[in-house]
Structure 1
């Protein structure tokens, strides 16, 4: 059973939440970061980039301690306040396309992560896990929830609907035109019902945030081992999560773009592709596949459709059937010589929420030579691979919703 509990969030005050909330640090360009740091003294970016105060880049342990200092300053200045009692937080995001996401911000169990009650579908990089674990240990808080998904639940849905009839604690719209609303759930009966419903679930799944959840688990192991009075109720036993029903989850593909043809001429490359795929030149008309095992390819100003030959590839596991894995095993590795999808600088990724023309533009501008598009991974594929204990290739999914940092904070 899943142990999903309420917690006492540290939150910005109502009048400042829109100023505090920030996207992940890496998602901003240098110019965007500079603008926000210069013009908005309340941005959460001031906490995660403490060196801005001294006009200096600071890294490692020194940066972690300064992050902690900036965070404490925000609390001392009453920009952040902590709730008096543990709550669940109903959180709604309506994006610029009017897609609505409803979920609950709560604390998920690190022990559930260990026991595979919280299931994973993506590989993580060990050194990144350790770096972020050390960061969490020093700063003492987590400001960006892991995105978890659970089977649609009528009782939880009704509670969310009931809570949303009241005035939201927060309501703000970002410059991306996403509207965010947050409600506190502090009624004892509702708290018990939500906790009970999650306890009835045998598994929930990580949708986005595999490194954050892995780092939180490592932190839990470290602090547990060093606490002789450990009782399982300490805050480090949990990590902040945003839980949404499976029907609300939106999964987009990541298209692949490659810088060269691995020494092959265009004709040699197409001949090798023909061994595994049926190929049709679609000319300059953009082509986007509509079925699994079909791909679009853009090369030298033309779009191509690629259909996997039934005799050209053997499927033995759920992972073997995944389009990103098929592309890797039939083209990227054997023909284009890309073995390390995480670190090879010859490959780039463009999320599929952008249209196929974004891939075309990256190639026409000369940054890449060839690109491949595919259909998104389904929730059923993602769950099956997680259930089978397998891991997708990196950048197999671009998942929405995307949350803002600093709206709710979980302290260890």
Structure 2
């Protein structure tokens, strides 16, 4: 049922791909961006931050137009070239821990997104959807794939494995010590096999990139309404995605840090917690929870284990069984007074790739008063939320792989 098609990617030349590829813009500090752009004229950051050339911060429509100009300049200078035939792109990442992600970069259908064949598990913010839609409409390309996941499929896995026996088109290692590989797959027979295999998959899930998916869908509607000869086959009916099997996903937890105890003393706070949790003081020993509905807490120089008293909590649906929701409903909202976990400045998050020492250090420094550790959410929980048309609380998952921008570019 899923329509996943090949496309003619715009890509860096083999000799420059490692110089072009960039992390998501927001992940760089100002100092990192300045350094990378100052020493690397080929970085994709020059395209998405065109104000650097004029030593000026530029935003809105003016920035979008300049992004378009920088992109065209990269094409004119031969840094980017477009493939002649629609292709799938087998993409493998081996991260510094040795975990391997293997999947396919392809174009996914916006209509499938609308019809809930491609399912989501996070809320999106309308303002951000429209801002990115306007950006895409002006620049005319997308350079960062949405991460989609599908049930493990033998046919697709065998093709990916066979393709990877040949020399890759790209092989480069980042400063994060992740190694990236790309193979172009344009053999008609294999293309048809992959397309047919995806058509037999009933549901695909968004792992990361909910706003990009929503914005691409809005763009599709806009351009469709402006095109009197719309056929449904135009590139704007699709968005670039990286599709990997569910078994390849790595999901980390997002731990919580809170700046104060909402006016409570330590003792009063612990007494309130006792209603919903069995509490054990673990002292100075680092305690990391290993089971669902168990949490770690760091408070006043000591670790605690919190075991949910299940008889006092109602597991009414997939959302209510989610640990991030349980923490919100039993501690953050009723005891610590945090109603809006997305916007309240008293709460912050640390993803699980950072260890518990991060929480300990931030509490010990006085920046926060209490920290909570969680276990990672599973693929099955993500699917249960999406299948029930529910949405997770913000910062419920930190999902890998994280792709680089500028390696494959989708034009519409």
What is the TM-score of this pair, normalised by structure 1? 0.99
Aligned to 2:18: 18
- Separation of aligned partners in 1, 2:138 and 2:409: 15
- Separation of aligned partners in 2, 1:365 and 1:225: 55
Aligned to 1:54: 54
- Separation of aligned partners in 1, 2:397 and 2:310: 25
Aligned to 1:352: 352
Question: Which of structure 1's runs of 4+ aligned residues deviate more than 3 A?
Answer: none
Report the Cα offset of residue 150 of structure 1: 0.4
Report the Cα offset of residue 343 of structure 1: 1.0
Aligned to 1:131: 131
- Separation of aligned partners in 2, 1:256 and 1:130: 29
| Structure 1: runs of 5 or more not aligned | none
| Kept in 2: contact 1:298–1:304 (CA 8 A) | yes
Mapping of residues 170-189 of structure 1, within 5 Å:
170-189=170-189
| Kept in 2: contact 1:290–1:375 (CA 8 A) | yes
Aligned to 1:82: 82
Report the Cα offset of residue 312 of structure 1: 2.0
- Separation of aligned partners in 1, 2:100 and 2:31: 30
Q: Is residue 302 of structure 2 the alignment partner of residue 288 of structure 1?
A: no
1:149-189 alpha-carbon deviations (Å, 9 max, x no partner): 00111111111111111111100000110000000001000
Mapping of residues 11-410 of structure 1, within 5 Å:
11-410=11-410
- Separation of aligned partners in 2, 1:362 and 1:133: 37
1:45-94 alpha-carbon deviations (Å, 9 max, x no partner): 00010000000000111111100110000000010000001000000000
Report the Cα offset of residue 341 of structure 1: 1.3
What is the TM-score of this pair, normalised by structure 2? 0.99
Out of 14-23 and 360-369, give the one that drifted further: 360-369
| Kept in 2: contact 1:68–1:139 (CA 8 A) | yes
Report the Cα offset of residue 328 of structure 1: 0.6
Out of 102-111 and 120-129, give the one that drifted further: 120-129
| Kept in 2: contact 1:277–1:312 (CA 8 A) | no
Q: Specify the SS of the correspondent of 2:268.
A: helix
Report the Cα offset of residue 324 of structure 1: 0.3
- Separation of aligned partners in 2, 1:368 and 1:37: 35
- Separation of aligned partners in 2, 1:258 and 1:216: 35
Report the Cα offset of residue 311 of structure 1: 2.2
- Separation of aligned partners in 2, 1:208 and 1:362: 27
Q: Specify the SS of the correspondent of 1:184.
A: strand
| Structure 2: runs of 5 or more not aligned | none
- Separation of aligned partners in 2, 1:162 and 1:147: 23
Report the Cα offset of residue 190 of structure 1: 0.3
Report the Cα offset of residue 124 of structure 1: 1.0
Computed over aligned residues only, the root mean square deviation of the Cα atoms, in angstroms, reads: 0.7
Report the Cα offset of residue 362 of structure 1: 1.5
1:183-217 alpha-carbon deviations (Å, 9 max, x no partner): 00010000000000000000000000111111111
- Separation of aligned partners in 1, 2:168 and 2:329: 49
Report the Cα offset of residue 342 of structure 1: 1.1
- Separation of aligned partners in 2, 1:9 and 1:368: 46
Q: Specify the SS of the correspondent of 1:181.
A: strand
- Separation of aligned partners in 1, 2:232 and 2:295: 48
1:376-401 alpha-carbon deviations (Å, 9 max, x no partner): 00111110110011000011000000
Q: Specify the SS of the correspondent of 2:342.
A: coil
- Separation of aligned partners in 2, 1:240 and 1:361: 40
- Separation of aligned partners in 1, 2:355 and 2:208: 22
Q: Is residue 10 of structure 2 the alignment partner of residue 7 of structure 1?
A: no
- Separation of aligned partners in 2, 1:263 and 1:230: 60
Count of aligned pairs between the two proteins: 412
Report the Cα offset of residue 128 of structure 1: 0.8
1:77-122 alpha-carbon deviations (Å, 9 max, x no partner): 0100000010000000000011110000000000000000000011
- Separation of aligned partners in 1, 2:259 and 2:216: 36
